[in-house]
Chain A
Amino acid sequence: MEPIIPGVVDLSRLQFAITALYHFMFVPLTLGLTFMLAAMETVYVVTGRQIYKDMTLFWGKLFGINFALGVATGITMEFEFGTNWSMYSRFFGDMFGTPLAIEGLMAFFMESTFVGLMFFGWDRLNRHTHLAITWLVALGSNLSALWILVANASMNLPQGAHFDPATMRMQFDSIVAVIFNPDAQAKFVHTSVAGYVSAAMLVMGISSFYLLRGQHRQFAARSFRMAALFGIISTVAVITLGDVLGRMVYEHQPTKIAAIEGLWHTTKPPFEPWVAFALPDDAKQENHFEIGVPFVVTPLVTHSFFTPITGMHELEEQAAPHIRSGIEAVTALKAWRDGGSADDLARFNAHKADMGYGFLAARHAPHNDVSSIPASKIEQVIVETEPDILPNVFVTFWSFRIMVFLSLLFFGLFAFASWASLKNRLERNRLLLKLCLWSIPLPILATEFGWITAEAGRQPWTVFNLLPTFLSASTHSFSYMVFSLAGFAILYSAFIAAELFLMFKYARLGPEDHTTHAGLAKPHNGDQFASVPAE
């Protein structure tokens, strides 16, 4: 192994984090808006009322502005694994590339081909075919998310593959194990439904804007009602699935759950408090200003009252034998790869399970090569490696809390909004409308923090317990990274400025005029509800 330049790895991580978080601002809206459009168009086809077609067209236009950026920034993601994470891509290509390629074949092609027909095919397709196309776009965009999250789940909970020393790669064994990975299941539903919440909030917020101004009232009332109901069910689902996902993390990623809950020491059930507020100190490995709610954390995480959760100090202690055995594994592996004997291979196989910890120890070894650690220094390297198994606790702890507190806020807001809309009391509750308007960016913020929780909490690994992050990056020079980061910064800033400008412009313009005069009074083919009062 040639020495690794730490700064390059950090810059690669920074670039990936920026581009992924940026991409993820647009994806949740796409996931949700497509299904909201499908809902609106379904109502249009069932009732035949023009106003629902106008709704589909108007929200479809906002969807289009957002979709373009989602597609554009998605291209970056597809190539960044290869351009910046070569070791990871090679090591994990079977497991990660396959879902990505299936995503292209099964979902992205469908979504991208039909989105053109959805926008341009109104006059060329009959209503039912167009409705089917809209549903296919919605299905396609969510299936895309499914495969991406199946790939992501393999990084968090690798299953369905084994390591092959002859190729130095994970060899694929079972696609069923990959697709039905429990982490993938919970993650997909949680993420997809979080997208529904984001879209519902956007539609509800902009509708509130019209109601506050008394513009497009019928249009806004219907959009608001649909979004509020869409949002309340989705919020319930997102919270439920979040709990499921938490259990999954508890079972498979003890370091992540301990960091999320800020648990430095193993819990003492049942009294152990749930830390609602604290300032975790990664250097001193303790929490400052801790405020806890007693009796909560054990049932919350373990779904039982008496199971202790292992704390981070204990996890570090438990890691020591694994690190020692991992150093053995990697030393034997290197000897065998460099033309060693069958003995080396046997020695590797005996310690194979701990290989990842051996790679992790390379950071503290001379020239990043664990085989060159002198026997006298081994214990010292192990002690230095122990704290490396933990993620950044402050980031994981707080990103999780922000997400959770926001989701509880959404629950209250959508519940109130649904009630006010069903009772037709929206315009009396101007405060509610204002709250809805100002809450538009919050679900996107919550999904971003959810993403940070999941991925910051996975550290120090790219593939959990198998491949450390600092080994995964490409061996670029510093200047390459500066070049690409500067480029992304400039382009992405310009994009977000243009996107926001257009979103505001079209939201202010509102639905096109034929809603107001032709909308309710003239449904396009003999409608028994034609007597609804017009604006």
Chain B
Amino acid sequence: MRLLSFAGLGLVLTVALLFAVFVGDQGPWYFAWVIGTVMIVLISGAGAILLDAQQEQTSLEEI
């Protein structure tokens, strides 16, 4: 099972790499969209988690 998931992960990484090389070359803006969108989602998610942490550390209830 573990071997299988390693193989799966390896496959995903290879595909991602090929995608990055090909699309990054032919369509840099498409590539930028993929990276950018994931970044936007992760940063906004991180912002929410930061809010959880901020509220935990201070006793203030201000928002």
Contact = CB atoms under 8 A, between A and B. Distances in A.
Touch between chains A and B, by CB atoms below 8 Å? yes
Interface of A: 35-36, 38-40, 42-43, 46-47, 49, 52, 142, 176, 179-180, 185-186, 188-189, 192-193, 196, 211, 217-218, 220-222, 225-230, 233-234, 237, 241, 244, 421-422, 424-428, 529, 531-533
Identify the interface centre among A49, A220, A230, A425: most chain B CB within 10 Å of its CB: A230
A91 B60 CA distance: 66
Interface string B26-63: 11111011001101111111011111101110011111
Nearest to A230: B44
A192 B40 CA distance: 13
Q: Is the interface of B mostly helix, strand, loop or mixed?
A: helix
Contacts of A424: 51, 54, 60, 62-63
Given A43-B49, A211-B63, A225-B51, A244 B29 contact: yes
Contact of B52 (A47, A180, A193, A237): A47
B32 A189 contact: yes
25 contacts: A39-B40, A39-B45, A40-B48, A42-B45, A47-B49, A180-B30, A185-B28, A185-B30, A188-B33, A192-B37, A211-B63, A220-B63, A221-B51, A221-B63, A225-B48, A225-B50, A226-B44, A226-B45, A226-B47, A229-B44, A233-B39, A233-B40, A233-B44, A244-B29, A531-B56
Q: Is the interface of A mostly helix, strand, loop or mixed?
A: helix
Contacts of B56: 529, 531-532
B29 A222 contact: no
A35 B41 CA distance: 7
Contacts of A228: 47
Contacts, number: 108
A279 B41 CA distance: 41
Nearest to A535: B61
Closest 3 CB pairs of A and B: A185-B29, A230-B44, A221-B63
B45 A186 contact: no
A193 B36 contact: yes
- Chain B interface residue count: which class? 20 to 34
B47 to A, nearest CB: 4
Contacts of B44: 36, 39, 225-227, 229-230, 233
Contacts of A193: 33, 36
Contacts of A180: 26-27, 30
Contact of B40 (A35, A221, A529): A35
Contacts of B51: 221-222, 225, 421, 424
A430 to B, nearest CB: 12
A188 B45 contact: no
A179 B48 contact: no
Nearest to A233: B40
A422 B47 contact: yes
Contacts of B62: 424-425, 427-428
Interface string B1-41: 00000000000000000000000001111101100110111
B63 A229 contact: no
A42 B63 contact: no
B48 A43 contact: yes
A237 B36 contact: yes
B5 to A, nearest CB: 13
Given A35-B41, A226-B48, A529-B52, 9 more contacts: A36-B44, A176-B26, A188-B29, A220-B63, A225-B47, A225-B51, A422-B50, A424-B54, A532-B52
A52 B46 CA distance: 13
A533 B48 contact: no
Contacts of B39: 233
A189 B29 contact: yes
